[in-house]
Amino acid sequence: MAGAGVKLLNKRIRSVKSTQQITKAMKMVAASKLQRSQGNMLAARPYSQKLTELMQQLAGKTDIADPLFEVRPIRKRLFLVIASDKGLCGSYNMNVLKFAQIAVDESVAEGVETEIYAVGKKVAEHFSKRGYTVFSSHEDFGGEINSERGSLVGNTMVEAFVGGQFDEVRTVYASFVSTMTQKPVNVAMLPIAPDQAIAQDDEETDDRAVDYIWEPSQEEMFKVLLPLYLRNRVFMTLAESFTSEHAARMISMSAATENAGELIDALTLQRNRERQAGITADLLDIVGGSNAL
């Protein structure tokens, strides 16, 4: 019996070691993707900040008459929900999906016709299985963001809003606070509230006000920059969400690797004890047989 127990423990130890190698490799891949995604996000921030400053200058001197600022009675609402295509990232997906479902249910309770714009396979599956209407979905981004994907999502939202399909568009995603912390948030995307483009501290406005010479006119510049501003917001939202995903997966795989190591140590100790018990039993049999002779 002892020999059979040792063989079974050896088999379990080999299995756990194999799993540990996989989780360790996934941790390294997630760490690499996190570094790249976080680098892209940080590199895009100066452009985003400068574009916002420029929009503040224009919006402060131009009468806002653009469809993206149009406030309508909310009869139809679209939620852009961003999560991952794959699992193995701890509670990341569940936190975002629970947060999003609460927001969607509250919207439905208000009597507003609500649909889901899913970015991530997990989002599409979650809401489809529960009977929610999925307006559109992207299930092949794989946690990678680029300008084309940002423009695709942004253009889809703008067309749906300007075309009158929805009166409001909101976004639910995991905001990247730090490698250890990702916070689900629910923010309005369309219509653009004037304070999103204009809001600025009065003291800073007095200190930093610059009288630009605009070519072409401010109105024409505003019409060109407004869609760019919105697409940039979408890009930064996707970048934060995907960075949060890679951070959550790296932490999850790191914990899984450590747990596998602890389990290997416990199984090895148990195996050694059973092996020692078997040796002791054999010695006792030999000594007992010798005494009998």
- How confident is the prediction along the chain (293 residues), in pLDDT tens digits per residue? 456 678 888 888 999 999 999 999 999 999 998 988 888 888 888 888 887 777 766 665 556 667 877 888 999 999 999 999 888 888 899 999 999 999 999 999 999 999 999 999 999 999 999 999 999 999 888 888 888 888 889 889 988 998 889 999 999 999 888 888 889 999 888 887 655 544 444 444 444 555 666 677 667 777 777 878 888 888 889 999 999 999 999 999 999 999 999 999 999 888 888 878 777 776 766 767 666 66
- What domains appear along the chain, each with residue ranges and CATH number? 2-25+253-287 (1.10.287.80), 32-250 (3.40.1380.10)
Write the CA distances from 192 to 64, 117, 134, 199, 274, integer angstroms: 11, 18, 23, 12, 69
How many CB atoms lie under 10 A from the CB of residue 241?
A: 30
**CA-to-CA distance for 118 and 129, rounded, in angstroms?**
13
Active-site residue flag, 89: yes
Strand order in the sheet with 134-138: 134-138, 113-119, 76-82, 168-176, 182-190
Catalytic residue among 41, 78, 81, 89: 89
Dihedral sign, CA of 96, 97, 99, 104?
positive
* Tokens representing residue 73 in the block: 């009675």
**pTM for the whole structure:** 0.80
Phi, psi of 110 (to 5 degrees): -75, -5
